[in-house]
């Protein structure tokens, strides 16, 4: 195997670069426009981590960005239902779900009469593995992304998305991307879709051949402080018996859920970092004057927030390890491209919320809402009210889809049935609002919660009744798909800019997550994507 294409070869290549260029000139003048934009999105990163834990971070990661770049601790998602794929679509289009159309991880398709994943596309196949399952594409994304506009203005620009999850990779890269890569949870390989290319490039196959997923899952997850001591597994277990530290057997987890386990532990973030660096090397990103874009998603915080409190030892270990991942990437980018030519931004899709168990300890209102019980009772109510029938076609992510054909056959008025359903559902504990869809069609809400819900509502795709929960209430988990479909109630996230022409500044004004794309478009001197609703952030570049 040609070692150039493996991650170990990558490290050797970087090492040789360092030796040949023994010194990095920090005073180099930046190019007229950035040669490479690196967009990092971290699932469930909280703004308060940077005041609470900054003393635990390295000098080369988040602290370096805060001391030399621009930082906002108050960037908002100004819509109600914040979710991984939804938020990636918003970040990179600069417009809310009402317009970009990605309303949740999946929704009920009224034509096929079934729920479909947002990236599902029967017209394409997977690349990188032998699989009869159809692949993914961005065809359901209704708005252009930053990468799309970059390619439109300069076809020589390279645009690539990297993530463990297909939604994050696809929606951040966009329609015109050269590639989007994600990890197959069954076979443990990075794959793509024939939407982008006919065959998987050799360098991706060679990376997969390094078998890094298995190597990372061979090690248990223990606190980094113990792991750094180089202790054997037996010694670590002995130490753990004397402390309250955690221990997770990743080999056991792999046997239960396969390579999906990587999405739950810091090893997954490490793998993404490795693959992203390999991508930059092999695709020659940032090596010419045609600005390129790579999007990178770190997801293990997002999966862990469903199991651990935001301030738990596990989450603290995740964030400190992630800090080292960021430091490694910055060092790599500086050696490979030069940070004076790289514009890096870091933000979060959602922010980790406290679990009801955390709130209970402080006697804060909380609870679990059972959508299954609510839907079952609603079906019974409709059977009594309108007669026996399959009145509910589907439910997904706090949206109820009524059987419109049955309603029409019974000569009922859809709006009346929507209102009856909403009035019934709002009686359940934990439900703050249950809103008939026709409200959003007939009324334009300019502020408050209703405005945020409306910005999440797409006329063609959203349900007939939208449910909003009380603060502190979350959906009760029943199966894996509902786990994926969980929404976050926290809409405040951090935002960093670092590198090319960025001055050290704390951005104290409230920002909107939709401001990222018009800001980057301004730097590139191109028109923002059609439908973009954000505004350029003032004061980033003097």
Strand 392-396 with 505-506, pairing:
unpaired
Give the SS3 label for residue 181.
Answer: strand
31 within domain boundaries: no
Q: What is the pLDDT of residue 229?
A: 56
Please, which residues bridge with residue 183 across strands?
190
Residues 476 and 518 in one domain: no
**Which CATH number fits the domain that encloses residue 192?**
3.40.720.10
Residues 58 and 162 in one domain: yes
Write the DSSP symbol of residue 526.
-
315 and 289 share a domain? Answer: yes
Residues 108 and 158 in one domain: yes
Asked if residue 418 and residue 323 are part of one domain, the reply reads no
The verdict on residue 70 lying in a domain is yes
Is 11 a domain residue? no
Cα gap 301→316, rounded to integer Å: 10
Q: Tell me if 111 sits within 8 A of 122, measured CB to CB.
A: no
Query: From residue 66, how far is each of 26, 61, 310, 502, 519 by CA, in Å?
Result: 17, 9, 21, 11, 19
pLDDT of residue 306: 67
Q: Would you call 145 a catalytic residue per the annotation?
A: no
Question: Would you say residue 313 lies in a domain?
Answer: yes
Tell me which residue of 464, 441, 466 sits closest to 453, measured CA to CA. Answer: 466
Report pLDDT for 14: 45
**542 CA to centre of own chain:** 31
**Are residues 270 and 400 located together in one domain of the fold?**
no
Average pLDDT of every residue of the chain: 88
- Segments of 365-405 assigned E as strands: 367-369, 392-396, 399-402
Q: Is residue 17 part of a domain?
A: no
**Integer Cα distance of 430 and 265 in angstroms:** 31
180 is a domain residue: yes
Q: Quick: pLDDT tens for 378-430.
A: 999 999 999 999 999 988 888 999 999 999 999 999 999 999 999 999 999 99
Tell me the pLDDT band of 369, cut-offs 50, 70 and 90: confident
- Both 86 and 184 in one domain: the answer is yes
pLDDT value of residue 31 = 76
Q: What are phi and psi of 74, to 5 degrees?
A: -135, 65
Domain span at residue 245 reads 219-257
Q: Residue 209 — φ and ψ, nearest 5°?
A: -70, -15
Q: Say if 5 falls within a structural domain.
A: no
Per-residue pLDDT for 135 more than 80?
Answer: yes
Q: Are residues 290 and 229 in the same domain?
A: no
Distance CA 531, CA 100 (A): 8
Q: Report pLDDT digits (tens) over 259-282.
A: 999 988 999 999 999 999 999 999
Residue 139 lies in a domain: yes
pLDDT at 233: 56
User: Lowest-pLDDT range, 98-102, 270-274, 288-292, 472-476?
Assistant: 472-476
Per-residue burial over 520-530, b = 16 or more CB atoms within 10 Å of its CB, e = otherwise: bbbbbebebbe
Question: Which one has a higher pLDDT value, 285 or 23?
Answer: 285
Q: Is the pLDDT of residue 324 over 80?
A: yes
Query: Residue 45 to residues 247, 304, 371, 457, 512: CA-CA distances in angstroms?
Result: 23, 11, 27, 25, 16
Look at residue 542 and tell me whether its pLDDT is greater than 90: no
Candidates 75, 84, 95, 278; catalytic one: 84
C-beta of residue 64 within 8 angstroms of C-beta of residue 370? no
DSSP string, 107-152: EEETTTTEEEETTEEEEEEEESS---SEEE-STT--S--HHHHHHH
Q: How far apart are CA 91 and CA 346, in angstroms?
A: 11
Q: Do residues 142 and 101 make contact, with C-beta atoms less than 8 angstroms apart?
A: yes
* Distance from C-alpha of 395 to C-alpha of 383, rounded to nearest angstrom: 17
Q: Determine the average pLDDT of the residues in 62-71.
A: 96
Domain co-membership, 162 together with 192: yes
Comparing CA positions, the residue from 183, 317, 192 lying closest to residue 260 is 183
> In terms of domains, do 470 and 330 share one?
no
Mean pLDDT to the nearest integer, 155-174 = 97
Percent of the chain with pLDDT strictly greater than 90: 66
**How many structural domains does the chain have?**
3
- pLDDT value at 488 more than 70: no
* Residue 105 clears pLDDT 50, i.e. is over it: yes
Give 221-254 pLDDT, tens digit per residue.
988 877 755 555 555 555 455 455 788 899 998 9
Residue 227, exposed/middle/buried by CB under 10 A (0-12, 13-18, 19+)? middle
Q: Is 362 helix (H, G, I), strand (E, B) or coil?
A: coil
User: Is it the case that residue 305 has pLDDT exceeding 80?
Assistant: no
Mapped onto helix, strand or coil, the DSSP state of residue 268 is: helix
Asked if residue 469 and residue 421 are part of one domain, the reply reads: yes
Q: 350 vs 83, 94, 277, 493, CA distance in Å?
A: 7, 16, 25, 7
For the domain that residue 431 is a member of, what is the CATH number?
A: 3.30.1360.150
Which of 476, 451, 450 has its CA nearest to residue 398? 476
Q: Please tell me the pTM assigned to this model.
A: 0.91
| pLDDT in the model for residue 223 | 87
For residues 502-506, give the mean pLDDT: 93
- The confidence score (pLDDT) of residue 310 equals 87
Residues 285 and 300 in one domain: yes
What confidence score (pLDDT) does residue 435 get?
Answer: 97
Rounded to whole angstroms, the Cα distance separating 512 from 506 reads: 15
């Amino acid at each position: 195997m040609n070692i150039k294409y493996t991650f170990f070869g990558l490290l050797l290549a970087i090492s040789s670069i360092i030796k040949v260029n023994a010194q990095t000139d920090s005073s180099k003048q930046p190019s007229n426009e950035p040669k490479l934009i690196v967009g990092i999105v971290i699932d469930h990163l909280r703004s308060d981590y940077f005041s609470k834990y900054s003393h635990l971070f390295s000098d080369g990661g988040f602290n370096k960005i805060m001391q030399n770049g621009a930082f906002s601790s108050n960037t908002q998602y100004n819509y109600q239902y914040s979710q991984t794929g939804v938020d990636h679509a918003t970040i990179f289009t600069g417009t809310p779900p009402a317009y970009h159309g990605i309303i949740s991880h999946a929704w009920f398709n009224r034509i096929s009469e079934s729920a479909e994943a947002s990236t599902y596309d029967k017209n394409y196949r997977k690349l990188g593995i032998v699989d009869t399952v159809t692949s993914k594409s961005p065809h359901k994304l209704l708005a252009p992304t930053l990468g799309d506009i970059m390619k439109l203005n300069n076809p020589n620009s390279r645009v690539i998305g990297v993530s463990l999850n297909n939604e994050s990779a696809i929606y951040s890269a966009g329609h015109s991307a050269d590639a989007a890569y994600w990890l197959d949870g069954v076979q443990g390989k990075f794959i793509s879709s024939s939407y982008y290319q006919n065959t998987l490039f050799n360098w991706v196959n060679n990376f997969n051949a390094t078998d890094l997923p298995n190597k990372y899952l061979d090690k248990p997850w223990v606190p980094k402080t113990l792991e750094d001591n180089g202790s054997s597994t037996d010694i670590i277990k002995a130490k753990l018996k004397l402390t309250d530290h955690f221990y997770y057997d990743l080999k056991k987890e792999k046997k239960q859920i396969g390579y999906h386990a990587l999405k739950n532990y810091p090893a997954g973030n490490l793998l993404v970092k490795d693959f992203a660096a390999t991508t930059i090397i092999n695709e020659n990103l940032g090596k010419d004057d045609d600005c390129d874009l790579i999007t990178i998603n770190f997801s293990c915080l997002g999966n862990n927030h469903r199991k651990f409190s935001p301030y738990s030892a596990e989450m603290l270990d995740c964030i400190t390890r992630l800090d080292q991942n960021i430091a490694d990437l910055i060092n790599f980018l500086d050696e490979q491209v030069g940070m004076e030519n790289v514009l890096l931004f870091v933000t979060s899709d959602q922010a980790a919320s406290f679990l009801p168990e955390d709130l209970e300890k402080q006697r804060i209102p909380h609870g679990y809402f059972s959508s299954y019980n609510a839907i079952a009772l609603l079906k019974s109510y409709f059977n009594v009210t309108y007669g026996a029938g399959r009145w509910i076609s589907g439910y997904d992510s706090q949206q109820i889809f009524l059987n419109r054909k049955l309603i029409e056959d019974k000569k009922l008025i859809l709006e009346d049935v929507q209102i009856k359903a909403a009035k019934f559902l709002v009686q359940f504990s934990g439900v703050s609002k249950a809103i008939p869809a026709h409200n959003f069609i007939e009324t334009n809400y300019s502020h408050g919660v209703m405005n945020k819900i409306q910005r999440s509502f797409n006329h063609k795709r959203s349900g007939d009744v939208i449910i909003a929960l009380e603060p502190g209430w979350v959906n009760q988990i029943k199966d894996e798909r509902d786990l994926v479909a969980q929404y976050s109630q926290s809409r405040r996230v951090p935002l960093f800019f670092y590198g090319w022409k960025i001055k050290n500044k704390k951005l104290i004004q409230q920002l909107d997550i939709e401001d990222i794309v018009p800001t980057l478009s301004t730097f590139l001197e191109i028109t923002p994507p059609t439908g973009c609703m954000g505004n350029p952030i003032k004061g980033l570049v003097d």
